[in-house]
Chain A
């Protein structure tokens, strides 16, 4: 009898241990407040989606963490029992790496960086293809031939996006210009408003942007000018004026990564080469005014009526061109890239030769400006 009891107890204990081992507690460290309606907000939406989907997953988060403090917060999360930690700002890179070496039994994933370790992967969902598709639409919609772009910081990520956008614009409207204003903040609605108004005064009549507020959309809509939303679905801020935009789905990456940990594919030993660079083909980004609305119906007619003579497709409307290009990039066997050679920068240098694509490294360190961009470009080679 006693033996049976011991056996039962042992099974119970082992069983609960096995259960404990398969439970994942994931901690998310954000650089901004979850209410920013941009970067951090999108990560937190994704966290909630995966948290609700799997009962073996528990998540916690910390918001507004200063970059130098990331190690402190990692310590606190590990002490709380987190066995997976996501850090979602480039500035967290070195702190995350140090923590990964200090806690070899915890799995780390760092967003937007380039340093990895046995137990530290990197991940990024990038918009450059989406910006290119938005550029096609913007090029067709401008009447003045000037498109305004409000940008946060002159870093490679934004330079890549503005260039991809401009390549799209020029593909359908070879004489159009993209006028850029930098505001040197990720979130500063006042500065974004000033920049938009200055661009309107310069004659811009279509707007795109990379900063964390819906300000550009709102200011443009006041003047009845179309714009493209950024990061979160911005259709609701101006249903008559948001043509399309860039929407992120971080949950696709989080779900894949956490599932692979759960199934034992990813361990604390094999992440040194795990780098997610997810684009349209993986569903990590979407082009649209809101999920499922690729082009605002109010602008469909204008895009269908704008017909160009395309070097590859002959006579084609921009509306059709957008769908063709989207399919070429969303298909797992990607057959098109915005930076497909020949690509020249605005100084006339050949940057991508005929028949070539840009490598991942070239993309993420890109400093040059595509032909058609107007305005200051700090660090231009």
Chain B
């Protein structure tokens, strides 16, 4: 028990679903209230602004579909990251793994002479492998040489960003692009189809949801899932149980990076139809996915919903920029406030706050509570 002024914090052993939902909702509402001060500062009526945003995002199927579209790469990367985080492997490299998938898919789309029906399946396969291999590297580095996984996965992002830049400025620069740094456009057989009236490349979306289901079963019901959880909770215990660390980390990262790679395939085959500057391919999906996985608390199924939440935030941000004509930074402030509130409210999920009168003996206990 902790005391903060007149409040008492009591630990919750296992936060109930209602507590998780209630606290998260409270955080979002607080963020909206804080953001309304910003809206007000720009001379917009906050209430009208929110109503307008709500109508803009949920008003029609084409506009709502944007939420789904923006969530696709986040679901895939997010599910992959929940796996890695379960094993306490801090994969900060989903961004680079996504780009690796995009590179491999572009290679297959533009340069591999295969029958047209095989092109898309091969793009997904090669994208999965490229993302996976890019992620297995830091796993091996950690197991063999004790290289910090946060650093190695993060650094590999930059290497992949420069590889993409080099490809589009160098060997893969498209002859039809008049010298600009883009590859040529993919052939039709390498493009994903959309849900009607949208730009939702449904195949990648289905892969993401399928991946979440498989990952959930894998974690909860298989020997591999058990090993992942043991490794994640105590390396010592895992060692005693005779679990092969190298294999577990390598496989977890192969899956984690592979899913991010699939997201990269979806972006180039579904949205861009070419490889271009890395900042325009990913827009930080790999980093946002870290928060998606973190808010999902290690549950691949929950990652679907947290990814949708961020899809919603992105789509609302797009709408804000156009309809309210606010400077683009406001979108960042808005997203930042929501994140900040969600993360700082986290404590309330594990601690219940109760108002209680100051008891006489409290002063004497002050030292003990700070133990």
Taking Cβ atoms with an 8 Å cutoff, the residues of A that contact B are 27, 33-34, 60-64, 66-69, 71-73, 75-77, 79-80, 90-91, 94, 114, 153-156, 159, 184, 364-367, 378-379
Contact = CB atoms under 8 A, between A and B. Distances in A.
B180 interface: yes
Most buried by A among B267, B276, B321: B321
Given A91-B276, A156-B178, A68 B281 contact: yes
B319 A76 contact: yes
6 contacts: A63-B321, A63-B327, A67-B272, A67-B277, A76-B56, A159-B179
Nearest to A76: B322
Nearest to B322: A76
A216 B169 CA distance: 24
B322 A90 contact: no
A62 to B, nearest CB: 5
B165 A155 contact: no
B36 interface: no
B181 interface: yes
Contact of A379 (B63, B179, B182, B271): B179
Nearest to B318: A72
Contacts of B323: 76, 80
B185 interface: yes
Interface of A is mostly: mixed
Interface in B293-347: 318-319, 321-323, 325, 327-329
Contact of A80 (B271, B322, B327, B329): B322
Contact of B180 (A60, A77, A155, A184): A155
Given A66-B279, A67-B272, A73-B322, 9 more contacts: A33-B329, A62-B328, A66-B280, A68-B280, A73-B318, A80-B323, A153-B181, A155-B180, A159-B179
B330 to A, nearest CB: 11
Nearest to B62: A75
B173 interface: yes
Given A156-B179, A378-B170, A67 B322 contact: no
Contacts of A34: 327
Contacts of A76: 56, 63, 318-319, 322-323
The contact size tier of chain B is 20 to 34
Nearest to B268: A68
Contact of A63 (B170, B179, B185, B328): B328
A61 B328 CA distance: 10
B181 A155 contact: yes
A68 B271 contact: yes
Interface string B53-93: 00010000011001000000000000000000000000000
B199 interface: yes
A115 to B, nearest CB: 11
A66 B63 contact: no
Given A66-B283, A68-B267, A378 B321 contact: no
A239 B240 CA distance: 74
Nearest to B274: A94
B273 interface: yes
Nearest to A29: B322
Given A114-B178, A156-B179, A364-B178, A72 B273 contact: no
Nearest to A112: B180
A90 B179 CA distance: 11
A79 B61 CA distance: 13
A72 B199 contact: yes
Interface in B32-60: 56
B332 to A, nearest CB: 10
